[in-house]
Amino acid sequence: MYRKILVPLSNAAFGMAAALDAAIHVGRIFGSEVEVLYARPAPEALILVLGKGFAGTMLESALREVQAKIGKDCEAAHERMQRICGQAGSSADDDAVSRPCPQVVWREVEGPADRMTGIAARFADLIMFAKPETGDVTDSVWRSMFDAALFASARPVILMPSLPVPLSASRIMIAWNGTPQATRAVAAALPLLRRAQSVFIGTAGLDEDLQRDAEGLKEYLLVHEVDAQVEHLPKSLRETGSVLLGMASQFEADLLVIGGHGRNRLREWTLGSTTSHVVELATIPVFLVH
């Protein structure tokens, strides 16, 4: 069960509408509390940057302007959140619409957005993210927050497309490769899998061990009252992420469950190539766990 859903935001409020709309939808289904976490940059952290070229009263004036801008951005994001909550109500799931809207809590913290996100995400059952409204998943602030939520919390993350789409999760595809990350993703997604009308286990590659493993997953899901079908695709010259997205499209999936693979490069988490490809190009919600 997802009792607490976290929607992390930065001063730029990336993808708020898509993430919050999806969080409210899931919150209705599971009776969750939705916490919107807004990370305000600390003005003091800008002193070193602003200090170059400024002195004395000029620096003080510049800092006051920065503080005022931060305050205005925060107030604008809060007002936008309230508008989104007021408009919440449309959903592809009639059962969800009939349930009361979840409590939405606004919480402001001061500090680096990625660090604040990683800390808060540890104490949530589900983290709801959306791609930037510009669609640019390479934006450094957004990417640092997303990576912190995925790699620093051990909690599941649902990544929504930049434009709000219904998170019906009625046709779910599991991208299965037998790794611990994929196993954790399936376990974390069980509440949604149980509610789905159709569940599809997709594997890329005709390795016999992987095929047996997928059949084992099917049996495991049956124990949890989830009836899934299995499809094995042969290896392709295309990027594995493209194969998985193509398979999801063929299945008409409205949610893709995948392990969030990563590697540590220069002490910074970076997504593996397959996961990066899915994160960048997916047009449906993606459920990830590292």
pLDDT digits (tens, 9 = 90+) for 186-201: 999 999 999 999 999 9
Q: What average pLDDT does the segment 167-183 reach?
A: 92
Closest C-alpha among 243, 230, 248 to residue 284: 248
Q: What average pLDDT does the segment 20-27 reach?
A: 93
Residue 12 is predicted with a pLDDT of 60
* Weakest-pLDDT range from 33-37, 120-124, 234-238: 234-238
- The answer on pLDDT for 94 being more than 80 is no
Confidence of residue 73 (pLDDT cuts 50, 70, 90): confident
Sketch out the chain's domains with CATH numbers. Answer: 4-160 (3.40.50.620), 171-289 (3.40.50.620)
Strand partners, 200: 173, 229
Residue 265 is predicted with a pLDDT of 41
Are 33 and 13 contacting, i.e. CB atoms less than 8 angstroms apart?
no
**Environment class of 153 (CB within 10 Å of its CB; exposed 0-12, middle 13-18, buried 19+):** buried
Structure tokens at 109: 């913290």
Residue 35 is predicted with a pLDDT of 96
Q: What average pLDDT does the segment 4-23 reach?
A: 84
Q: Which helix (H) or strand (E) holds 171?
A: strand 171-175
Report the C-alpha gap between 3 and 75 in whole angstroms.
27
Residue type at 242 in one-letter notation: S
Confidence of residue 60 (pLDDT cuts 50, 70, 90): confident
Residue 170 is predicted with a pLDDT of 95
Closest C-alpha among 47, 40, 162 to residue 108: 40
Are 199 and 174 contacting, i.e. CB atoms less than 8 angstroms apart?
yes
Report the C-alpha gap between 142 and 249 in whole angstroms.
26
Residue type at 22 in one-letter notation: A
Cβ-based neighbours of 79, under 8 Å, separated by 6 or more: none
Strand partners, 38: 9, 108
Query: pTM value?
Result: 0.86
Confidence of residue 267 (pLDDT cuts 50, 70, 90): very low
Q: Which helix (H) or strand (E) holds 33?
A: strand 33-40
Are 210 and 223 contacting, i.e. CB atoms less than 8 angstroms apart?
no
Cβ-based neighbours of 285, under 8 Å, separated by 6 or more: 22, 158, 159, 160, 161, 165, 167, 169, 254, 255, 256
